[in-house]
Structure 1
Amino acid sequence: MKKYLVISGLFIVIISTFLYCKKAKDSYIEITNSSDGNWLLHGLNYSESRFSPLNQITASNINELGLDWSLNLGLKRGIEATPIVKDGIMYITGPWSIVFAIDLRTHDIIWKYDPEVPKSVGEKGCCDVVNRGVALYDNKIYVGSFDGRLIALDSKNGKKIWEVLTVDQSKPYTITGAPRVIKGNVIIGNGGAEFGVRGYFTAYDAQTGKQKWRFYTVPGNPSVPFENKAMEDAAKTWTGEWWKYGGGGTVWDAMAFDPDLNLLYVGTGNGSPWDRNKRSPLGGDNLFLSSILAINPDSGELIWHYQTTPGDSWDFTATQHIILSDLKINGKIRKVLMQAPKNGFFYLLDRTNGKLISAEKFTYVNWAEGINIKTGRPIESKWARYDKANIDVAPNYNGAHNWQPMAYNSNLNLVYIPARETFSNYGQDNDWEYNKTGFGTGNGWNLATGSVESSPTIKDEKATNKGKLIAWDPIKQKEVWSVKQNNIWNGGLLTTNSNLVFQGTADGKLTAYNGTNGKLIWEANLQTGILAPPITYLVDGVQYVTVITGWGGGYGMKNKHTNYVLPGTIYSFKIGGKSELPEALPAFNRELINPDWKVETNKITEGETLFWKFCGTCHVIGEGGGVAPDLGYSPMVGTDAFKIVVLDGILLPNGMPKFENRLTIDEVNAIQHFIINKVKDLKKQP
């Protein structure tokens, strides 16, 4: 009898394993074969190509592309999500990690889930309370909440199935990235390097939420046993007491997966604090900052790594979009990984082993002359680490390319990059000291204010803060065509089988280009800034192109986009669409403040330091402002209302922090002295 039970049990295990593997294989086939018209993964497929096989919309009929429907979501912060579409249902996220399910036939909201993120958590984020989307697997929706939870929802009704806390909420961790589901595990990382945390990413069982493994991206305190050999080896590349500052290396976006090689590719973030001179005073590469990691998704074991910016001191993250493809190079098919990170070089790696194939500048770069093909290391300019003087560095912390996704058209062998030319003046902060609550784990920004005209290092006319859409040949490593854009903060990309390239822009245009030559062939004026990448899909056999508007993000918190006000809205276009665009309201015309307040000179310097420590992450003075108010135009400055907002937290429901335990009344007044003096100086300018 025992023998029979053992054999029966073994048979059940074998059958269950077979059925599970078959389900996983069928799921993989469904996900990688996008010809059914769904958009099932963040990047459309595991390779994250964002190349749709659909071709109903072409260059010859795109003039007939019109708005079919729109849906006002009533959201007033940044929207960066890639929608997920399956069988006529769209799943999207908005600010504060709110999830929506939309019926694409009736254009109604089926359900809405609000994870009720405490608004006080908003100040833990460097770059707005955004979210880049959900994952869909086995009739469940997975979302990472801004305050660090991973939540599984029933895709039919939005009811919570399980929730797990992925971070220590006493520390300034956040989640803004989209989860990925790989082989039955949900993979999620986090953000917070600007505020002093230790980065990692974690795999959770998709059915139960049970943690399967966790990989830390930087080593912890050497007095405590390291988690694995990778951390032991990484610690040899750090000096000083980095673990007290967090270290950084957060994983807040890029992932891709090769099921044949069984490798998960992950991009890691910048150091904490930014400046290696503070973080690791005796030098070192500081593994695994600004790196691409190849991980065994079953165990979390590191297989190989490639560091794009050793010893990063500029916020040159490698969390930007990763794309996988097979390319013919020198007559041989190579399995490659492609990335255009912040540092301005386009990398082509052999994804089987992490070896560098080639790397070239795709925008203006001056911090390094090039990449040594033998060592894979950058050839740094001798002054690049700004240790002896303030230096204009290109690109800057906004990057030559940021989180906005690229797209790869395999018909044309072209990668389309939402790029930009940027620079800033970097310099040592002589007053820096570690501060657990300050931006940059210190007194604030470690950047001075510079300009091309006054720069000792930048004399090239290319060094301008402008946007640039680039078509890049990854084999020849050269630009094929490019389009200049006035704003650096434009949206992500989509390319299609009919060789079109779609992009939303900061000035509110949804645009379409001929992917072969870069000619603008269609645009729609949506009147408010677009960050999110467009997608395309089929409903009842008809191809749609959809984008979600919603200005914000790190750049958008401070910077103006259009002259109109319109909340986050879904726009869906099809051939023959006849709907009218919603009416946008003109932005409020403002004048610089003129409070009846005598500025005390001795308060200005103190106020400036406090402003950049507590206010400067979100607010500007007299530059126009973005989602967060420009304090140069705020009627509250110079009145008791300013103190009530800052100290008492009356606007906390809007995400404005409460500082009563961190600032005194005298310090709040000093901030106002600085703001008012700045405005007076602006008024003196012609």
Structure 2
Amino acid sequence: MTQMIKGFGPLLRLAGLSLVSLGWLGNAQAAVDAAAMQALETDGSEWLSYDRTWAQQRFSPLEQINTESVAKLGLAWSIDLDNKRGLEATPLYHDGVLYTSLSWSRVMAVDAGSGEILWSFDPEVNKAKGRDACCDAVNRGVALWQGKVYVGTLDGRLIALDAQTGKPVWTQQTTDNSQPYTITGAPRVLKDMVLIGNGGAEFGVRGFFSAYDANTGELRWRFYTVPRDPAQPQEHPELNAALKTWSEDTDWSLGGGGTAWDSMAYDPELDLLYVGTGNGSPWNREVRSPGGGDNLYLSSILALKPETGKLVWHYQVTPGDSWDFTATQQLTLAELEIAGKPRQVIMQAPKNGFFYVLDRATGELLSAEKFGKVTWAERIDMATGRPVETADARYQKDTLVMWPSPLGAHNWHSMSFSPLTKLVYIPYQEVPGTYSNEAGSFVRKRAFNTAAGSSEITELPREYTSGALLAWDPVKQQAAWRVERPNHWNGGTLVTAGNLVFQGTSAGQLEAYSADKGQPLWSFEAQTGVIAAPMTYQHKGQQYIALMAGWGGSGALIGGDAAVATGVRNVSRMLVFKLGGNKQLPALAPPAGSERVPEPVVAAASELAAGEKLYSQYCAVCHGVGVVGGGVIPDLRHSSDAVRGAWDAIVLHGAYQANGMAAFGDSLNSEEANQIRLYIMQREYDSWIQETKK
């Protein structure tokens, strides 16, 4: 189960993994446990969880690299990776070793000082599973606990690996693999339990998250986020209450959604686990739950007792979600002074564009204000905690263009909070979305189905898409400063006690700013779009900054012209920096172009229209809206004659499945596949005409 990864050097192949530096295998490591996690509050040398601590602040107390010294920051070492999809992981650091994941759920351990690969592990995910991934074959990272490394795989497995050898210790299939569930998020570990959720709401699944015994892999408990058909008893009492918020006419076969695919936080003093849940399935509530209802526990922040999974409180961020406004974005715990009193809060900047501050013991809403352009709601009513929606926000009469889009004002890209500046650093993006009621043409076959216009995904105009590094004051609920970005889909942030905030950009830079004022201080050309967040650690007395750099994710795949505007492509590397580093990246080879002069397509308008609709349902999520590739997966406008000559073999029968191009023969017939081919050829011709006019 090993895939040799370019740039790793000579590796010793060993039963499902690769090993080098065998002397390292005998070195006993200090345990990663509750004491080690709580020590992180003052000890910045290690990074033991996805957001460093259970509080998910992404703040490091390290200050060797600071506003005065950052100008001397340079590349210490890098690894070229055989990785052609997006890199979203945050590496973890423990006892001299970096642990990280790549696309397709692969894992590697790296010597933190030299960049030498210690071991690598490939779970050999069937590449056909990529068809069920809404947002690329990505993985946001691993978890560490008492000598084990935990990874969730795209096909729904949770695997525990020996931290010193990379050998599997136990494996659990956490999902029904006959359903289009996926796992892209990093596991979290606490109280000897591994917590993991899943994704798949665009394809019609029912959300849940689970706790497994960290030592044995035994299931401890499972929390379903939406009810099932009331003809059957609900799995736990919280679902009986939730059932009252769904219509009697709900079509339970549609799954309901609510997948918990990313954020989790933990307060050891309150002993509360916090989980964010996702969008409805399908998006359009009038199809999902005809007649309305809040549809609990969609798009909600849940607080639970970690030993049992019993719900303590919930707050629904977007009642009756109809826009893919998930609440899966980062949940950050902090102490803020509000109205002259210290309050223990939980903060979130979810997709819907409002910044929420809640009391984390009770779920009381303390404040909520827009942190960007929002047109679907006027405000949050503080008396009810509910949004005041604008007219026809639910797009039942007309096609609606609104802000934010399904990509969100803030997506999975991590924000950070500094207890020194008391500011939150948000990777903000301003992208419009188009919604329309497609209840009458809703398709239930295995496709990207939202009943909200997803079959006619609107190309994102370049002039209407942008981003920003936004420093947000959560007490005043206003911006302290911002750095404008010409493009969206920029990376997550890291803030340090050195008064620095780091962020990578979709245009291909890693940058550092002063955390208090936003002054630009340092920049590095990464040669690829950066979507992951950097992290920092201290090794042998020296502070390092580490980053997984590799363009991809849903914003790159589906983004069309807006993604092309970044001017980047996927060049996957692990980049590590230190003061005085002087390594250089090799020069990039020019991208391959197409010399073909296309000819006009001879086809009826009805054939091309049918092809466009089918392409939007089955292809756009990976190959881009309008058949405009975003620099990750091949742009089908430039596919070779050989590819088009073997069209049915590829599209229907999976000839390229080993590369991640699944077979669609269970959903499409030869006539439909040909309609897609004709539409792609027409888009090639249209694009060529447009380019020749420039």
Q: Normalised by the size of structure 1, how large is the TM-score?
A: 0.92
User: Any idea what the Cα deviations from partners look like across 1:312-354, whole Å, max 9, x if unmatched?
Assistant: 0000000001100011111111110000000000000000100
Secondary structure of 1:146's match?
A: coil
CA contact (8 A) 2:467 2:486 kept: yes
The superposition leaves residues 478-533 of structure 1 with CA deviations (integer Å, 9 ceiling, x where unpaired) of 00111111111011110000110001111110000111111111000011011111
Question: Residue in 2 aligned with 1:629?
Answer: 634
Q: SS state of the match for residue 29, structure 1?
A: helix
Task: Please identify, of 529-538 and 575-584, the stretch whose mean Cα deviation from structure 2 is larger.
Answer: 575-584
Q: Which runs of 5+ in 2 are unaligned?
A: 1-30
- Specify which of 588, 609, 613 is matched with residue 609 of structure 1: 613
Corresponding residue of 1:13: none
Task: Note the alpha carbon deviations across 1:332-391, whole angstroms, 9 max, x for none.
Answer: 111100000000000000001001000000000010000001110000002100011111
- Bigger mean CA offset, 559-568 vs 365-374: 559-568
Q: Deviations over 1:29-54 (max 9, x none)?
A: 3344433x011111111101011000
Is the CA contact (8 Å cut-off) linking 1:34 and 1:44 kept in structure 2?
no
Letter matched to residue 220 of structure 1: R
**Deviation at 1:664?**
2.2
Distance 1:321 1:630, change over 3 A: same
Distance 1:450 1:554 in 2: 14
Q: Which amino acid aligns with 2:321?
A: D
- Shift of the 593–531 alpha-carbon distance from structure 1 to 2, 3 Å rule, reads farther
Secondary structure in 1 matching 2:523: strand
Q: Which residue of 2 aligns with 1:11?
A: none
Per the alignment, in what secondary structure is the counterpart of residue 532 of structure 1?
coil
Q: Structure 1 residue aligned with 2:277, among 268, 280, 283?
A: 268
Q: Distance in 1 between matches of 2:489 and 2:599?
A: 33
Structure 1 pair 448–434 and aligned structure 2 pair: CA distance change class (3 A): closer
User: 1:191 — aligned with what?
Assistant: 199
2:449–2:455 contact (8 Å) kept in structure 1 = yes
- 1:668 to 2:673 alignment: yes
Task: Give me the whole-angstrom Cα distance separating, in 1, the residues matched to 2:609 and 2:193.
Answer: 52
Whether the aligned pair in 2 keeps the contact of 1:444 and 1:613 (CA below 8 Å) is no
Aligned twin of 1:396: 405
Larger radius of gyration: 1
CA distance in structure 1 between the partners assigned to 2:127 and 2:531 by the alignment? 23
What residue is the counterpart of 1:420 in the other structure? 429
| Superposed counterparts of 1:453-492, under 5 Å | 464-492=464-492
By how many angstroms is 1:604 displaced? 1.4
Distance in 2 of aligned mates of 1:274 and 1:358: 27
Q: Decide whether aligned partners of structure 1 residues 56 and 482 sit closer, same or farther in structure 2, where only a CA change above 3 A counts.
A: same
1:149 aligns to what?
157
Where does 1:378-389 land on structure 2 (aligned, <5 Å)? Answer: 378-389=387-398
Q: Which of 568, 587, 607 in structure 1 is aligned with 2:591?
A: 587
Equivalent position SS for 2:265: strand
1:676 is paired with a residue whose SS is: helix
Selected match of 1:309 from 318, 322, 325: 318
Q: Does 1:215 align with 2:228?
A: no
Deviation at 1:452, TM superposition (A): 8.6
Further displaced range: 673-682 or 318-327: 673-682
2:113 to 105, 113, 118: 105
Distance in 2, matches of 1:41 and 1:310, equals: 31
- Equivalent position to 2:67, from 35, 43, 59: 59
CA contact (8 A) 1:271 1:313 kept: yes
Quick one: structure 1 residues 542 and 401, their matched pair in 2 at CA, closer, same or farther if it must change by over 3 Å?
A: same
| 1:117-128 equivalence runs, <5 A | 117-128=125-136
Distance in 2, matches of 1:354 and 1:218, equals 20
> Residue 649 of structure 1: CA displacement?
1.6
Q: Give per-residue Cα distances to partners, 1:4-63, cap 9 Å, x unaligned.
A: xxxxxxxxxxxxxxxxxx99653443344433x011111111101011000001111111
Q: Label 1:150 to 1:313 Cα distance change in 2 as closer, same or farther (>3 A).
A: same
Match for residue 623 of structure 2 among 597, 619, 632: 619
For residue 516 of structure 2, what is the aligned residue in structure 1? 516
Matches of 2:592 and 2:275, distance apart in 1: 43
Distance apart, 1:676 and its partner CA: 2.5
Instruction: Say if 1:418 and 1:491, in contact at 8 Å, map to a contact too.
Output: yes
Match of 1:429 among 438, 445, 456: 438
* Amino acid in structure 1 at the alignment position of 2:394: R
Q: How many residues align?
A: 655
Unaligned runs of 5+ in 1: 1-21, 454-462
**1:490, 1:505 within 8 Å by CA — same for their partners in 2?**
yes
Is the partner of 1:491 in helix, strand or coil? Answer: coil
Aligned to 1:530: 530
| In the alignment, structure 1 residue 93 sits paired with structure 2 residue 101 | yes
Select 1:45's aligned residue among 44, 50, 53.
53
Per the alignment, residue 237 of structure 1 pairs with 245
TM-superposed CA distance for 1:678, in Å, is 3.2
From 654, 663, 671, the equivalent of 2:659 is 654
The code of the aligned residue for 1:609 comes to K
Larger mean CA deviation between 484-493 and 616-625 belongs to 616-625
Deviation at 1:548, TM superposition (A): 1.2
**Could you tell me which residue of structure 2 aligns to residue 449 of structure 1?**
458
CA distance in 2, matches of 1:574, 1:451: 38
Deviation per CA, 1:635-680, whole angstroms, max 9, x where unpaired? 3499313333212322111100112333222222111222223344
Q: In the aligned structure 2, how far is the partner of 1:66 from the partner of 1:249?
A: 43
Output the amino acid matched with 1:675.
I
CA distance in 1, matches of 2:600, 2:685: 12
Range 632-641 or range 129-138, more displaced:
632-641
Structure 2 contact 599–685 (Cα < 8 Å) conserved: no
Q: TM-score, normalised by structure 2?
A: 0.91
Cα pair 1:425 1:451 within 8 Å, conserved: no
How far apart are 1:247 and its partner, in Å? 0.2
Q: 1:296 aligns to what?
A: 305
Deviation per residue, 1:202-225 (Å, 9 max, x gap): 000000000110000001110101
Identify which range, 606-615 or 65-74, moves more after superposition.
Answer: 606-615
Q: Which amino acid aligns with 2:612?
A: E
Alignment partners' CA distance in 1, 2:568 and 2:381:
47
CA shift in 2, pair 1:638/1:523, >3 Å: closer
Amino acid at match of 1:184: D
CA contact (8 A) 1:245 1:441 kept: no
* Local SS of the residue matching 1:632: helix
- The residue type paired with residue 580 of structure 2 is G
> In structure 2, what is the equivalent of residue 439 of structure 1?
448
Of stretches 554-563 and 386-395 in structure 1, the one that deviates more from structure 2 is 554-563
Counterpart Cα distance in 1 of 2:104 and 2:35: 34
Work out the CA distance in 2 between the residues paired with 1:102 and 1:627: 25
* 8 Å CA contact 1:505, 1:529 repeated in 2: yes
Secondary structure of the corresponding residue to residue 304 of structure 1:
strand
Amino acid at match of 2:513: Y
How far apart are 1:561 and its partner, in Å?
6.6
Paired residues of 2:508 and 2:568 also in contact (CA < 8 A): no
Q: Which residue of 2 aligns with 1:503?
A: 503
Q: 1:344 is matched with which residue?
A: 353
Structure 2 counterpart of 1:131, which letter? N
| SS in structure 1 of the partner of residue 564 of structure 2 | coil
Tell me how far apart the structure 1 counterparts of residues 566 and 377 of structure 2 sit (CA, whole Å): 35
Tell me by how many angstroms 1:447 deviates: 5.2
Q: CA deviation at 1:538?
A: 0.7
* Letter matched to residue 191 of structure 2: K
- The residue type equivalent to 1:327 in the other structure is L
Q: Name the CA distance, whole Å, in 1 between partners of 2:38 and 2:637.
A: 55
Distance 1:179 1:548 in 2: 18
Equivalent AA in structure 2 for residue 198 of structure 1: R
Q: In structure 2, the residue corresponding to 1:305 is in which secondary structure? A: strand
1:65-76 equivalence runs, <5 A:
65-76=73-84
